[in-house]
Amino acid sequence: MLAAIDLGTNSARLLIGKVENGKVKTVQQHRKITRMGAGIREEGLINRAALDSTASALEEFQQIMVALGVADVTVIATSAARRASNRDELARIVRGIFHRELRVLDGREEARLSYEGAVGTLPRLPGDLVPAVLDIGGGSVEICTKFQEDIQALSFEIGAVRNTETPISDEIMGSLLLPMVEMLEQVRPFTLVGVGGTVTTLAAMDQKLAVYDWKRIHGYRLYRNQVKAMFNLLNSLSLDQRKCLPGLEPGRADIIVAGTGILLFIMDILKTEAITVSEADLLHGALMELNDSN
């Protein structure tokens, strides 16, 4: 068995699995909210509370991995670590627990791993359209597709945590995301595939899941009118009211409005009516890479 860990802007995630016939067979998944990206725009630092929370999560992950007999692990980090001037401290924590080096992904690497993880696990997509994988994270948004057999990937400095802390206007967001529109104009017709906590949470909310069930999330279709209705509802509720909604993890209640707003904006500018939700993402891509290297 192998493991992959993602240290994201909002949470630390662990995937334990096996790769069989080029596909990841999941054994266990775990997630801890760490808020590693909180306040990072102003300070340029991962704060002490977030580092301590991350270290605690990683120690817990290590215990799980030892109990299951995991043979190897890869530890990756994304937007928050890319921006942090003290990411070496995060790397020391990883090295001390796992005796492995932290791999900080750039935006294109993050997009590519999300693409490889998602596309290889979904059933046939509608109409055999070209998949474009959208990852709405806490600190960045990635889009990845294939054009003439070449991987095309873009990364944008917006995200659910980042836009909650520092909201931006639709005009600015449209300007930032213009390269996404231009890239996908080359590959039409495409179908949008969504990964990351925002889209999986919306899929759970749309189904009013009291208990999260990845089998009901993976491959679920979210339509633009449903996303708009959920955005309007979330925007009308207080934080405490949002925490009570079925399918919405209380720890995500403060950032879900911004995340949903980003998804709705992207669906609007791309003029796409639906997005297929994937539970498989960059963790699955990273696990497949680790398997290839062993």
pLDDT 10s digits, 154-201: 999 999 999 999 999 999 999 999 999 999 998 878 899 999 999 999
CA separation for the pair 132, 95 (Å, rounded): 35
Q: Look at residue 23 and tell me if it is in a domain.
A: yes
Reported confidence tier of residue 80, pLDDT bands at 50, 70, 90: confident
Whether residue 27 is predicted with pLDDT greater than 70 in this model: the reply is yes
Could you report how far apart the first and last alpha carbons of the chain are, in Å?
A: 11
The domain boundary residue, chosen from 76, 107, 138? 107
pLDDT range class, residue 94, cuts 50, 70, 90: very high
Q: Give residue 120's pLDDT.
A: 75
Q: Is 112 within the bounds of a domain?
A: no
Tell me whether residue 288 is in a domain.
Answer: no
CATH of the domain at 46: 3.30.420.40
Beta carbons within 10 angstroms of residue 120's beta carbon? 15
| Number of Cβ within a 10 Å radius of residue 121 | 17
Distance (Å, whole) CA 119 – CA 280: 8
The predicted structure's pLDDT at residue 203: 97
Quick one: 75 and 137 in the same domain? Answer: no
pLDDT of residue 290: 94
Model pLDDT, residue 124: 65
Structural domain of 252: 122-278
The token pair that represents 37 in the structure block? 């990206």
Residue 154 and residue 262 in one domain: yes
| Structure confidence at residue 89 (pLDDT) | 95
Which residue shows structure tokens 């709705």? 264
Q: How many CA atoms lie within 13 A of 174 on its CB side?
A: 6
Long-range Cβ pairs for the range 128-132 (8 Å, 24+): 129/189, 129/190, 129/191, 130/187, 130/188, 130/189, 130/190, 130/191, 131/190, 131/191, 131/193, 132/184, 132/187, 132/190, 132/191, 132/192, 132/193
The structural domain count of the chain equals 2
Cβ-based neighbour number of residue 201 at 10 Å: 26
Enter the pTM of the model.
0.87
135-144, 235-244, 253-262: segment of lowest average pLDDT = 135-144
Report residue 290 as tokens: 């680790």
Domain membership flag for residue 290 = no
Q: How confident is the model at residue 125 (pLDDT cuts 50, 70, 90)?
A: low
Average pLDDT over the chain, rounded to an integer: 92
CB atoms < 10 A from the CB of 27, how many? 14
